[in-house]
A and B are shown apart, each in its own frame.
Chain A
Amino acid sequence: MSRSDWAYLSNDLIYITLALFALSFLSYAYETAFSLRANKADGGKYLDRAVTTKARKIASILFVVATASLTLAVIARGISAERIPLGNMYEYSITGAMAFALAFLLIGIKFDLGWLGLPSSILILLILGTAITLLYRPSAPLVPALQSSWLVIHVSSAILSGGIFLLSNTVAGAYLWLDRMERKGERSEFAKRLPSLESLDQLSYRLVAFVFPLWTFAVISGAIWAEAAWGRYWGWDPKETWSFITWILFASYLHARVTAGWKGRKAAWLCLIAGSSYLFNYVYINVWGSGRHTYSGL
C-alpha cells in the first residue's frame, strides 16, 4: 500500500469510527431513556432489567469495536505519514480521543463505568467530529521544529494526560449532578443504579492522582525540548503559561484533598476548573492564540 492509500484508509476508518460511536451513543441513550420512561410510567417500581441490560451490552460492545477502529485509524495515519501521528491538531485530537476511549475501557475493567457511556460517547463524537470537519489536514511530513524524538515523549504524555483529565472531569461532573439530585431529595430510580457519591469522588481523585505525575512529566519534557529547539527551557509562551496554570490548579486540587481534607462538591468543582484550563490551553491557545506552539497551521 502506498502512503496515500494508508491516509485514505485512516480517513475511512475515522468515518466508520464515528458511525460506531454514534450507534453506541444511541444504545446508551435508549437505555437511559427507557429507564427514565419506565420510572415515570409505574412510579419507578418495576424497571424491566432485561431491556436495559441488553441495551447496555450492545452499547458497550459497540464502544469497544469503535475504540478498536479508532486505534487502527490512528495507526494508519501514522503509517501514512511515516511518523508518530502527532504533528498537527487533527492528529492530536484523534489521538487524544483514542487515549480517552482506551482509558475509559481500561478503567472500566476495574470500576463499573458503563453508566458513563452516554456522556463519554458524546464527548468522543464531539472531538472526532470537530477533528474531521474543522481541523482536518492532509497527512504530511513534520516541520523541522518538530523533527525530534522529544515529539513522541512530550506530546504523547501531554495528550494522554489530557484524555485522562477529561475522564476525571466527566466523573466529577457526574458527581455534581448526582449530588444536586440528592440534595433536592432522593435519587431518581434511574440514578439509584449509579455508583455512590463517595465512590465517584474517590474515582475522580484517583484519576487525577494517577495522571498528575504524567502531566508534570509532559511539562518538564516540554521544557527540555524547548531548551534544545528554542534555546530556552521556559519562556512564558502562552502554551507554557497555561500548562503552568493547569499544573498549579491540579496541584492545588491534590494538595487540598490531602492536607486540607477537601472532598465532595468543593473538590469536584476545583477538578472541573483545573480541567477547563487544560481544555482552554488545547482549544483556545492552539486555534486563536499566538506563540511558538502554533507552527503546524493547526
Chain B
Amino acid sequence: MSAPELGATSLLRYLWRQLTSMRTALILLLLLGIASIPGSIFPQRTQSPLKVREYFDDDPSGSKWLDRLYLFDVYGSPWFSAVYLLLFVSLVGCVLPRSLHYFKEIFAAPPGAPSLLNTMEGFQVSPARLESAEAWLKKDKFRISRTSDSIAAEKGYLRETGNLLFHLSLIVVLLGIAASSVFGMRGEAIVNVGERFINTPTNYDNLTPGRFFSLESLPPFTIKVNNFSASYDRKTSQALDYELRVTTKDSLDSSEVNQIVKVNEPLTFGSTRVYLQANGYSPLVTVRDSQNLVKFEGPVPFLPQDSNLGSIGAIKVPDMQPQIGFVSSFFPTAARDEVRGGFSSFPELLDPRLLVSVWKGDLKMDEGVPQSIYRIDTEEMERIGLWALSIGESYAFEVGSITLNGVVPWVNLQVVRDPGKQYALFGSILAITGLLISLFIRQRRIWVRQVGGNIEIAGLALNKLPGLEDEIGRMIREIGDQK
C-alpha cells in the first residue's frame, strides 16, 4: 500500500495547486472585498478614535468583544492580513508559472483542427479552396499551422499578455502598499501661527513610524508658520479658501524659502510631504497667582467642535498651589440662545469670547497616564469660578487671575513619508492597461478543413467575446469573391 507515502508531500502539493489556481485567486479577491465591509460599518481607530471611544462608553462589554474580533482595526487585523497575504501568495503562485507557460506558448503553433468541425462555433461550409482560405488568414495576420487537408489559425495572443500584465501589476501594487507601511512614516503636529516646526520626533503630537523606519532619518527641515488666512461665506459659514504662508528650510543651514500651502497643495521635502489638514484657534492667555506672579503664559490650542469653530479646550496650570485648571470653550463669534446657551455663529474672529470654568485641586498630570490636552479630569477638583472673557479682559478668582491677551490661529500639519506610492500608482496604471487589453482583444482560433470539394470552417472564441461568426462570414464572402 502506498497510501502513507502519498501523505504529507502530496497533500502539500495538492493544497499549493488549489491555492494557486485562478479560481482561488478570484475567491480570495472576493473575500478581501467582503472582509473590508465591517470597516465601513464600525468606526476605525485609525480614522475616528473618538467614535471608537464613544462605542466603548455606550456599551463597554459589547465593545470589548468587537475589539477582540479587531472590528475597530479591521484593516490591520490578523484576519484581514491573512486574506491579503493569501491573495498575494496565490497571485504569485498563479501568475509566475502562467508567465513561463505563456512564453513557451508565444512561439507555439496553434493546435491542430479538431476532427469534427460542425460542433464548433460559427460552422460553415464553402465551395472555396483551402489555399485561398490560407491566403486570407495570412493576410489577416493569423498564425497558421497547416496539414495537407486542414489549417489551424490563431490570432489575438496579446490578450494573454494583457491578462498577465494585469495580474503581475497587482503584485506590484501590493508590494508598493507593503513598502509604504514598512518604510514610511506619518505624523501630525499642531503649530500656532508665529511658531516654528522643527522636524524632530519630540515636536509631533503623534507619530507612527513604519516598522523599518528609523526616527533618526527624519529629514531635518523646519517650517515657520507666518500666516494663516481663512475666508468664509457670510451667509452659510462655508469655508471658501484656506491659505497658509510659511518659510521653510530643508536643513538647519540651507537657505529660507517662502511658500504657500493649500488643502490640495502640500509642501514637498524629498520623499516627505507636509499637508494642511485642519485649523482652529489658540487663545493667548496669562495666568497669575495671588502674588501676581505669572504662572502660565502662551497660546493654548482649542479643538473645534462645529463648522463655526466653536471649540473646547483646557488650560492647565500645574505650578500653582493648589493646582488650577480651566475647563474652557472658545467662540470666535459669540452668540447665545435659549436652547444652546453660548455658541459660535461664525468661524471668523468677529466677537471672540473665552468661557472659563475655574477648577482647583489635583490635575493628575504626574501619574504617567497620557492625558488629552483638551480635557481635564475634574473628578477630584472643586469649581471656584466661571466667567466669559473678551480680548484684553481679566478675571480674578479665589487664588489668582486669568487674562485673555489675544487669539492666534493654529494649523494641523500632517507629515507623511510614503516611499511605496509610486510603485502602487505605476502598478495600477499597468494593471488598467493590461485589463483593457485582456477585455477588448479577441483571442480566437479558426480551423479550415478540406472535405470533398468543399471546405468546412469553424472556430473558437477563446475569451467568448462576440464577433467570431461575423468574421467567419466575412472570410467566406471574401474568399468566395476571389474565385
Interface residues of A (CB under 8 A from B): 140-141, 143-145, 147-148, 150, 202, 209, 212-213, 216-217, 220, 223-225, 227-238, 241-242, 244-245, 248-249, 251-252, 254-255, 257-259, 261, 285, 289-291, 297
Contacts and interface: CB of A to CB of B under 8 A. Distances in A.
B40 A216 contact: no
A165 to B, nearest CB: 16
Contact of A251 (B29, B238, B266): B29
A264 to B, nearest CB: 13
B293 interface: no
A144 B416 contact: no
B239 A144 contact: yes
B39 interface: yes
19 contacts: A141-B238, A144-B262, A202-B466, A212-B435, A213-B435, A220-B428, A225-B264, A228-B264, A228-B266, A232-B416, A234-B177, A236-B40, A241-B37, A249-B33, A251-B29, A258-B439, A259-B22, A290-B43, A291-B40
Nearest to A249: B33
Interface string B12-53: 000000000010001001101100110110011011100100
A249 B177 CA distance: 22
B425 A224 contact: yes
Q: Is the interface of B mostly helix, strand, loop or mixed?
A: mixed
B37 A245 contact: yes
Contacts of B265: 228
Contacts of B75: 236
Nearest to A230: B275
A249 B414 CA distance: 34
Contacts of B43: 290
Contacts of A144: 239-242, 262-264
Contacts of B39: 236, 241
Contacts, number: 120
A68 B452 CA distance: 61
A104 to B, nearest CB: 22
B436 to A, nearest CB: 5
Contacts of B440: 209
- The A interface, classified by DSSP as helix, strand, loop or mixed, is helix
Nearest to B166: A251
Interface string B221-243: 00000000000010010111110
Contact of A141 (B233, B273, B277): B233
B186 interface: yes
Interface residues of B, number: 54
B263 A248 contact: no
Contacts of B421: 227, 233
A231 B242 contact: no
Contacts of A147: 241, 262-264
Contact of B439 (A140, A213, A285): A213
Given A144-B262, A144-B263, A249-B33, 6 more contacts: A140-B238, A141-B240, A145-B264, A147-B263, A213-B432, A229-B264
Contacts of B439: 209, 212-213, 254, 258
Question: Which 4 pairs of residues, A with B, have the shortest CB-CB distance?
Answer: A248-B33, A238-B40, A148-B264, A231-B275
Contacts of B22: 259
Contacts of A248: 29-30, 32-33
B418 interface: yes
Contacts of B47: 235-237, 291
A270 to B, nearest CB: 11
B181 to A, nearest CB: 11
Contacts of A255: 26
A140 B75 CA distance: 37
B309 to A, nearest CB: 14
Nearest to A142: B240
B233 A140 contact: yes
B313 to A, nearest CB: 24
A292 to B, nearest CB: 8
A11 B37 CA distance: 38
A209 B441 CA distance: 12
B429 interface: yes
Contacts of A209: 439-440
Interface in B197-253: 233, 236, 238-242
A227 B39 CA distance: 20
Of A202, A233, A234, most buried by chain B (CB within 10 Å of CB) is A233
B354 interface: no
B463 interface: yes
Nearest to A235: B47
Nearest to A138: B236
B74 interface: yes
Contacts of B236: 140
A202 B240 CA distance: 47
Given A213-B435, A242-B40, A245-B33, A220 B429 contact: yes
B464 interface: yes
A150 B265 CA distance: 12
Contacts of B424: 233-234
A49 to B, nearest CB: 31
Nearest to B34: A245
A146 B476 CA distance: 57
A237 B177 CA distance: 16
B40 A241 contact: yes
Nearest to B462: A258
Given A227-B421, A233-B421, A216 B432 contact: yes
A145 B37 contact: no
Nearest to A251: B29
Nearest to A277: B33
Interface centre among A145, A223, A232 (most CB of B within 10 A): A232
